[in-house]
Amino acid sequence: MERANAYADAGAGAQEPLLLFEPVHATPASAGSAMRRRCADLGLALELHPRERLLDAGPESLSSAELLALLLGGEPGRALHSAGGVISRAGGLAGLRASSYHDLLHGSGLSEARAATVIAATELGKRMMSARGPKRPIISSPRDVDALLGVRMRDFDREHFVVLLLDTKNQVLGSPTVSVGTLCSSLVHPREVFKPAIKISAASVILAHNHPSGSIVPSAEDRQVTNRLAQAGKHIGIEILDHVIFGEGCLSMKERGML
């Protein structure tokens, strides 16, 4: 109930379009095995090749020297030795972060190109740490849902079922389409609705679908599906704040006392 009230009382949200999530193309599981085979074929030790280790076990598994060796480039063993020396002479990562181009060029024995590469990487890291992501729309009422989805939803000639994924502040984390139906109906299962919500750790969701006929009156099926999803949400701890129907206008089932 508190989340439902927050939906109505939250501050005015930004009315800006939100892109759908794009699928993430992960590195194939066989990539690591391929790397190991390639190193074995060349008679090389995998642990001496930071690039192969990065692809095999992920960047978090590499030491600071290995990460720096990737920036310096060249023969892996020599690059690792050079990287360790650079970090040591700089007084650790804190010292390396504070080092100037002149310090690296003359104090660490790096070439001009490699010293410039390290300085550029350090500056990029600083900027990434202070960078802020794009401002997320905030949903405070059905009008915000309409502003975010209305144009998109009314153009469909088939029923599309969309789920707005919200965090604890009602900020929109995503708006995936979980089902596309026929000209007059859309079949949706709880697992399709809550799978993206669970995956992204959403605190709550708002359901939305369109009626190609233009009517925004909830059908008996709309009410059944909404009640079924609301019950499922209670069991898994993800509350459904509303179900908005789009057609010639829009209707909030929450405002009509149907949820």
How high is the pLDDT of residue 87? Answer: 92
- CB of 242 within 8 A of CB of 8? no
pLDDT band for position 31 (cuts 50, 70, 90):
very low
Which structure tokens are listed for 63?
A: 């030491």
Which stretch of 14-28, 39-53, 111-125, 142-156 has the lowest confidence by average pLDDT? 14-28
Nearest to 172 by CA among 207, 139, 132, 208: 139
CB 15 within 8 A of CB 137: yes
Q: Report whether pLDDT(235) > 90.
A: yes
Nearest residue to 79 (alpha-carbon basis) of 55, 56, 51? 51
Average pLDDT, integer, range 124-134: 81
Residue 172 confidence (pLDDT) above 60: yes
Over residues 233-253, the mean pLDDT reads 95
Per DSSP, the three-state class of 213 is coil
Whole-angstrom distance, CA of residue 233 vs CA of residue 241? 10
Amino acid at 129: M
What is residue 16's predicted lDDT score, i.e. its pLDDT? 39
pLDDT for 145: 96
- Average pLDDT score, the chain: 82
- State mean pLDDT over 5-18: 48
Q: Is the pLDDT of residue 20 over 50?
A: no
Structure confidence at residue 225 as a pLDDT band (50, 70, 90): very high
Q: Where are the beta strands (DSSP E) in 131-252?
A: 160-166, 172-174, 177-180, 204-210, 239-247, 249-252
* Cα–Cα distance, 176 to 197 (Å, whole number): 10
From 156, 203, 164, select the one nearest 180 (Cα to Cα).
Answer: 156
The pair of structure tokens assigned to 106 is: 């003359």
In this predicted structure, the answer to whether residue 146 has a pLDDT above a threshold of 60 is: yes
Considering only 49-53, 60-64, 149-153, 171-175, which range has the smallest mean pLDDT? 49-53
Provide the token pair at 12: 């005015």
User: Looking at 40-54, 55-69, 151-165, 220-234, which range is the least confident one?
Assistant: 40-54
Q: Is the pLDDT of residue 19 over 90?
A: no
Sequence-separated (6 or more) residues with CB below 8 Å from residue 196 = 21, 163, 165, 174, 176, 178, 202
Residues 33/165, Cβ–Cβ less than 8 Å: no
Mean pLDDT for the stretch of residues 84-89? 91
Q: Which two tokens stand for residue 246?
A: 């789009």
What's the whole-number mean pLDDT along residues 29-47? Answer: 48
Beta bridge partners of 172: 166
pLDDT at 106: 87
Backbone angles phi, psi at 258, to 5 degrees: -100, 5
Query: Can you give the pLDDT at residue 1?
Result: 42
pLDDT reported for residue 33: 52
* pLDDT level of residue 183 (50, 70, 90 thresholds): low
Q: Percent of the chain scored above 70 by pLDDT?
A: 80
pLDDT value at 25 more than 70:
no
Query: What is the reported pLDDT for 14?
Result: 40
pLDDT tier at 189, thresholds 50, 70, 90: confident
